[in-house]
Structures are given as C-alpha cells and as structure tokens.
A and B are shown apart, each in its own frame.
Chain A
Amino acid sequence: MQVDIQNLTKKFGNVVAVDSLNLDIKSGEFVAFLGPSGCGKTTTLLMVAGIYKPTDGIMRFGDVVVNQLQPRERNIGMVFQSYALYPHMTAYSNIAYPLKLKGISKNEQNIRVQRVADVMGIGHLLDRRPSQLSGGQQQRVALGRALVKEPDLLLFDEPLSNLDARLRLTMRGEIKHLQRDLGITSIYVTHDQIEALTMADRIAVMNQGKLEAFDTPEGLYERPKTLFIAGFVGNPPMNFVDVEVSQNGAGPVATNNDLKTHFTIDQVEKVLAHKGPVTMGIRPEDIVVDDGSDIRGEVYLVEPLGRDDLIDVRIGDTRMLALSDPKLKIQPGDTVGLRFNPERLQFYDPQTNQSLVW
C-alpha cells in the first residue's frame, strides 16, 4: 500500500515537533526515518499509526485520507523498542490478540498464530509469558503480533535498540528478509544509521522536525545535499574544514592557513563560481597516509578499530579523522603526511549549509 504524506505538521503547544513533512512512500517499499533524538521521527510514526492526530497536513493510505481514522481502522502492525508485549498474556495470546479483536474464530486464530509462529521460529515458546522470554524472543513475538493480521503497513519504532549487538545483526537481516518476502510497505524509525543504510530502500533523514533528505542509502552517502546529512550519515563522520577555493596553474585548489589541496570533482565550475569561503568535507576513508604529502600534522589519538586504525590528526588548528593501516603502527605524537582523494571532496555554502555540488 502506498503512503502519501503532504505538509504533515504536529505541534505540542508552541513546540513544532514535525514541520510540513512531505513524503511519498511507494507500495512495498522499506523506508527508514533516520535522525537524532527529538528530531520528530517517532512523532511522525505515531501520526501514521493514528495515535497522534496531525495539527495540519494530509496523510493518504492508497487513495484514502486517514487523518481522522482511529488506529484500529488503519490495518497496521507495529513493533516497539520496548516490545510492548502484554505481560499478563502468554506469547500465544499476545499474537492472537489482534485476531480476537477482529472477531476471527478460535480455529482460524489458532491456524494463523501457528503459521506466524513457525515463520518467526517461536512455535515452542507460545505458552510462555513475556517475562519468561529473552529480549530476542520477545521481539520475535512482537513481530509475530504485528504480522498476524496481515497488515497493509508495518511500523517499526527502533525495534532493535534494546537487543545486544550480536542479536541486532541477526534480527536486522531477518526483518529485512521478511519484509522483502511479504512485500509489506514498511516504515522503520531508527537513530542508528547502519540500520537505516543496510535495511532501507530509501531513507528519510529528519532534523529538528524537518525533512533534510529523502533518498536511497547510496545517494545519501555519495551525494549528501546538506551539511547536516554529510555530517550525520557515515561513520566515522566526515571531516569539515573552512577553505578558500581558487584556480591556479595546476587546476582548482582549496586552501586555508593549515593546508592546501587540489580537487578534481565533476562540477568544479559550480564550486569555483561561489564567492567567499566554503566548507570542504572529506570522509576519513578518502584520506591516505602518505609521508610524501605536503599536508603534515601531529597524531593526537589512535583508536584501533580492528581492520583499520582511526587516527585523529591535528594540522595546525584543523582536526582531521583518517583511517590508516594498522600495519603502519602509527603512535600518538607521530608526525604524518595526509593526502586527500581529490575526486571525493564535498563543498558546502557555510551560509545556507547547502551543497555547492549536488
């Protein structure tokens, strides 16, 4: 089912939690709402669920305007961070509850609960209460409860945040797989960009109640349109330096007091056309440790990440995060040379925070 959101706004008193949001979610699509705490992503989800009533704007499921519909009239399934299982009911009763409310016969309830339980691999746990289940098992029951009524729309509110890292990885794959198999349109709220990047077809990045971008994971990562997205998406985060851009004999060059680097990106003219200072962005993985480089700085901190070392380098007043090969055995206090990949630089207008390139 298609979900169309236009100018959706939610105010709590004078606080604008969600500010004129526009989203067009295709049928069967998996969309993630990504943003820091308090950015309005959960508020938006609760409006889609029908728990909150929007202050302004229109929400359509297919062709139906659902603004005034109660949650029970929307045929949605929802999974919560806290699992939100009913503690006084067994796993079976929890899953059967939506069916019971629909007035479906006991026999049919039984068949459908068993079927969902088999898919989720919790058939042997059905007579236990939530308190007798582990976190992962509880989340499977919660997922089963959301799926059992065959919803048109699945809503996830940070469903994996309470699980340990290992289990999170497994469940991530399972949810993704299940969603693709069933083809149910899904909205997935998370503050974890890895989850959003790995699971979603498209990601809606939100910041302070506003939609910053609505794009594919690849688009967000490769072509960040705003400074916020550039800094928010990607781990370790992108480095930013204020520079002046100019054209010299060897081509376009970005300079400030501490460093100077050539760049060869596609839309060079757009960057050169900009008057005044620009903010240059470069991801840690696009920086190479090269002692032949002119850009030299002192290593302040080394964080071993296993496959790479994350090094924090001070170049004059400029701080740079870069990834280096652990075999180089870089130590804090060492002086290293850094070379930026000239094709991978991003440029932003510091006044508008918009990209000069995309």
Chain B
Amino acid sequence: MASQSNGGAVQAAPSDPTLNQRSRTRALAANLTAYSFLAPAGILVILFFFIPMLLVILMSTTNLATDNFTTNIAEWQYVGLRQYETLVNDPFASKVFFNTVFYVLCTLTFFNVTMALIVSLLTVHIPRRSGFFFRALWMLPRITTSAIYIMMWERILADVPFGILNWFNELLGQAPVNYASDYTWVFVIVVNGFIGVSFGMIIFTSAIESIPKDIMNASLVDGSTLIQRIRHIILPMLRWPLLFVITYQTLSLLTSFEQILLLTDGGPANRTEVWALAAYHRALSNYYGNTQWGYGAAFSVVLVVIGVVLAVVYMRVFRFNELVAEPKIEVL
C-alpha cells in the first residue's frame, strides 16, 4: 500500500522536486496514520494467534509431558518428527480421525446445510413476521451460553424425574432409555447441529430474499408450483451461498469441541472423541495420568495444517481477491 501511494504522488508532480518531496512526506504520514489504526488489532493477532501457533509447532517437535515439564524452551527435549510418527501409527488417532469425519459429515449434511435450507425455505414462504419469529427461535441455541445449553440437553436426556424424554416414555408406559449412552452420536450431532443451523439459515434466507421479486413471480406465471419454483429457480440461484456455507462450516466443525467436551467428554469409551477434543485431552487434561503436551501439540498442528490448506483452496474457489475492492478513499 505504501509503495502504491508514493507511486501516485510521484506521478502527480514529476517536475518539481520540492513538491515531490512534500507529497512524499504527506503520503508517508497518511500511511503512518493507517498503520497506527491497524496496530492494536495486529498486535492482538500476533500475540494471541501467531506466537501461540509457532509455540505449538515448536512444542510438537518435543516430548514435553508431565514428567519432564518445564517452561524454559531451551530445556525442552527435541525429538524431531517422532510425535508425528507416533500419531500416524496410533490406532487411537485413526479412530479419532474417522470419528471426526463422521461427525463433520453428518452435522454438516443434516443440520448446517439441509436443515438450514429447510428452515429458510419455509420461513420465506410464510408471512414475514412469523418467518422472523421462527428464525429467531433457531438463533437461541447459538446465543445460549454453551455450558447452559448443554445442561439443558443433559436434563432432556436424563432419567426420570428430570429427563423430559424419559418422562414421556414413562407416561406412554415405555421402558426408560439411556439416551446419553445408547444414542450418543445422535445427540452429539443434534446438539451441535441445532447450533449450526442458524448460520446457514441467515445466509440462505438473505440470499433467497435477494432474488428479484419479478423472477419469483415470473416462475409462477410460467406455470411452476411452489415446489417446482424451489427446485428450478431458487436452489440453482443459491449455488454460491451453499458452497460458502459448506466450506465455512466444515472449518468451524473441524475445530469445534466444547459442546462435545461438556456433553460426553468424548465418551463413552472414546466413541465420540473428535480430533480437536483429542488434542485437548492429550495436552491439557490429565485424565490419562500423564499430560502429553508434545503429542497434543502434534494433534493441533495437524488440524491447523488441514484448516490452512482448506482455507487456501476455498479462497481460490471463491476468488477472494476479486471480492475485496481497492479502497475508494485516496488520502486519509
């Protein structure tokens, strides 16, 4: 940006050296102002994202654990890529990998995309105010504190007299069901899915509402039913929002773990352990008797690499550069 502004200034006054000098100083001052506004956010990102990430990458090349723990980086015992070797050969890691794929695919397919689409399609076809009401309802899981949200689910799934589902079972004369352990995956996906719906819902709803009214009317006049209009007109016009929601939500599901931590803690018997949770368990929880920072860091780095690769691919697909326009203001 700096070189660009200077370039413009030089071009504006090519013959007069004093004027040239003055405008160059002006451009520099303007840039300084811009950078000083960017600085606070920049410092935060560097301090709490880039430096920790570098530390984690560094840590993943050590065998740092409870028995040799030290905060002195110089005394860490570096083991090269051995942690990654262990990870690749660890049957637990491959189980967690497939758990994660299953979790992300199911949540994404059933809730973040399909349910979000259904909610937006239904709510744009009913009176505006009712549509708004139902969409607001679907926002609740996202804006509820996760600890409270999970506690509500625990009560829904619990035994009588607390569990609502089992209370219905009792009322209908059915045997009580241990939902939390018998249907763990179902509820892990439902609980996370309910939170995920609202994102796609907002994107899809606004995309549908921005389809010109004339096009919507034209399709009805041309002879389509409401269902045919959704199939032939609305869905094809949602191609980009759909791609965006799928890609963005894949990334956020890959790194999500707090709800699973609170609901099942990866159990029973590691059945719902996902990658991000595994990293946490290895590095920060001494449930296994020995916290392995080095090994946990390796887990995290794998996740970061997958995330960065996917993000770069998505940015290419969405031509991110073309979406960001050149600033219209020339001088601050």
Contacts and interface: CB of A to CB of B under 8 A. Distances in A.
Contacts of A101: 222-224, 228
A168 B215 CA distance: 22
B223 A102 contact: yes
A49 interface: yes
Interface string A36-79: 00000000001001110000000000000000001110001110
A51 B237 contact: no
B254 interface: no
B217 interface: yes
Chief secondary structure at chain B's binding surface:
helix
B129 to A, nearest CB: 12
B221 A71 contact: yes
Given A50-B220, A51-B220, A87-B237, A72 B225 contact: yes
A90 to B, nearest CB: 13
B223 A86 contact: no
B222 A88 contact: no
A49 B217 contact: yes
B26 to A, nearest CB: 43
Nearest to A87: B237
Contact of A84 (B214, B223, B225, B237): B214
Interface in B224-264: 224-225, 228, 232-233, 236-237, 239
A228 interface: no
Contacts of B236: 86, 88
Interface residues of A, number: 27
A49 B221 contact: yes
Contacts of B218: 78, 80, 84, 86, 145
A43 to B, nearest CB: 12
Contact of B222 (A51, A70, A97, A157): A97
A82 B212 contact: yes
A81 to B, nearest CB: 7
B223 A98 contact: yes
Given A88-B236, A88-B237, A82 B214 contact: yes
A149 interface: yes
Nearest to B211: A87
A145 B217 contact: no
B331 to A, nearest CB: 36
A345 B236 CA distance: 60
Contacts of A88: 236-237, 239
A260 to B, nearest CB: 54
A97 B221 contact: no
5 contacts: A49-B217, A49-B221, A72-B224, A83-B214, A86-B236
Interface of B: 212, 214-215, 217-225, 228, 232-233, 236-237, 239
Q: Nearest 8 A-B pairs (CB), nearest first?
A: A84-B214, A84-B218, A72-B223, A101-B223, A71-B220, A80-B214, A98-B222, A78-B221
Given A49-B220, A70-B225, A82-B214, 17 more contacts: A46-B217, A71-B221, A71-B223, A72-B221, A78-B217, A82-B212, A84-B218, A85-B215, A86-B218, A86-B233, A87-B237, A97-B219, A97-B222, A98-B222, A101-B223, A145-B218, A145-B222
